[in-house]
Amino acid sequence: MTSTQPPLHALGVAALAAALREKRVSATETAQHFLARARSHQSLGAFVAIDEAATLAQAHAADARIAAGTAGPLEGVPLAHKDIFVTRDFPTTAGSRMLVGYRSPFDATVVTRLAEAGAVTLGKLNCDEFAMGSANENSAVAPVGFGAPAPVRNPWDTARIPGGSSGGSAVAVAARLVPAATGTDTGGSIRQPASFCGITGIKPTYGRASRYGMVAFASSLDQAGPMAHSAEDCALLLSTMCGPDPDRDSTSLDMPSEDFSRTLNDPLDGLRIGIPKEFFGGGLAPDVRGAVDAALGEYEKLGARLVPISLPRTELSIPVYYIIAPAEASSNLSRFDGVKFGHRARDFTDLEDMYKKTRAEGFGDEVKRRIMTGAYVLSHGYYDAYYLQAQKIRRMIADDFQRAFQDCDLIAGPVAPTVAWKLGEHGSDPLADYLADIFTLPASLAGLPGMSIPAGFGAGGMPVGLQLIGNYFAEARLLNAAHRFQQATDFHLQQPQGAQP
């Protein structure tokens, strides 16, 4: 690129795709540029696997397709994947010692669809073990350049957490190590790290994106989504990622993919934005509230109307989630027993002893905590008292949203009660992490689409995200509202100190 053009890492997905399509830069040059940035910012701990030869081979193939005139919509654009998606060309660990050294014989459907659109994989990104966490401090895998496991660091303040479980994805995008990344959201794991790192992330309606090849945490909640700088970039990625996958994912919706960019520029005149009173109580930090209120004021300037609503069972979402999700996790993680794949204890006396030692060595504290909780609530005598009751309240939470959507088109509020906290601050109190999910859990339990967009800054100059929640299949409307806000503000363009060359 010429000296008058911005550096490649300053470009988003849409701009970079255009530059590649117009042959202003090659896919190989682009891949080399981002690989160099990943190497020079290893101290952030974002990447857990990089294979330059595999990446450059994909880039050379992309250049050949561009030259032949058969380029896909994302041809040559480098992406990185949360290490919860299995990949043939890169190892998959799910952030756990249980899977260190594992290589999948196939790609996850989301990975395949992005590759078919021409995207080039830069590597795998750090995450909380089996996606269980809100801080990305639970990974048991050493990041690239580290000799031992280490937490991912927020590029806005490297003494703070990036959020989780998709913390590596959020940091890689925020620090301009990659223009976009995949993430997964079970209870807020796309939206919360996007908020803490000042980027855009969207969780689509449950079932919109295939879960095939995504290492399972809680199967009725897990959903894949993109993380990027802007709503426009997320729309391009989501259009590729979504679509039915009936032969491989029984929870995949029989809905064709759509062009989520088609309504990005529609005006917001008359848009009704619901403001749930439960999201603005005493637990919300004043600095976060100030940024969110200012963002809502900007929406009023754009022609939207704010409508007071109520989601009365918001507080119940925490106990409901932390019954249902661990219950599903205890079932999903039973496959990791040292028999067919993954870690196996070296010294054991019999099969039962192998199971016990393998799982004791392979799983971290947070994963063990959730397995034990899940096994307890599913056990005889407690299933009716806990798990069944939680499922009933989950239905009520979904009903609350449907009543609210009778009066509004979208719902807006904070993503988290505070900005990102210091590394280790919640180390001895896992409940503090759980409580930080209060605003993201309701939409996850209801299976609704939700997103986080940069909306300003709070204490310590840390980013604050605005959460937007839509009704089922309202991704295009969410992205439209986010895009118009980003046209009127520049929060999504701000770069942290940790992103500097």
124 is catalytic: no
Those residues whose C-beta lies under 8 Å from the C-beta of residue 474, and which sit 6 or more positions away, are 205, 409, 410, 449
Task: Indicate left, alpha or beta for 188 from its phi (over 0: left) and psi (-120 to 50: alpha).
Answer: left
How many Å separate Cα 184 from the centre of its chain? 4
Nearest Cα neighbor of 367 from 216, 251, 223 is: 216
82 is catalytic: yes
CA-to-CA separations, 30 to 62, 63, 500, in angstroms, rounded: 11, 11, 18
Nearest Cα neighbor of 452 from 247, 169, 207 is: 169
Q: Where are the beta strands (DSSP E) in 229-359?
A: 272-276, 305-309
DSSP 3-state of 109: helix
Q: Where are the beta strands (DSSP E) in 37-115?
A: 47-49, 78-82
Q: Phi first, then psi: what are they for 284, rounded to 5°?
A: -85, 125
Nearest Cα neighbor of 211 from 250, 179, 174 is: 250
Structure tokens at 148: 């031992």
Asked whether the beta carbons of 179 and 200 are under 8 A apart, the reply is no
Q: Which one of the listed residues 96, 104, 165, 330 is annotated catalytic?
A: 165
Residue 267 burial (10 A CB sphere; 0-12, 13-18, 19+):
exposed
Q: Which one of the listed residues 139, 189, 195, 230 is annotated catalytic?
A: 189
Those residues whose C-beta lies under 8 Å from the C-beta of residue 402, and which sit 6 or more positions away, are 471
250 is catalytic: no
| Angstrom distance (rounded) from CA 242 to CA 223 | 11
Those residues whose C-beta lies under 8 Å from the C-beta of residue 291, and which sit 6 or more positions away, are 455, 456, 457, 458, 464, 466
Q: What is the side-by-side order of every strand in the sheet holding 272-276?
A: 47-49, 120-125, 78-82, 180-185, 223-228, 200-203, 450-457, 463-470, 410-414, 272-276, 305-309
Asked whether the beta carbons of 187 and 164 are under 8 A apart, the reply is no
Instruction: Report, as residue numbers or ranges, the catalytic residues.
Output: 82, 165, 189
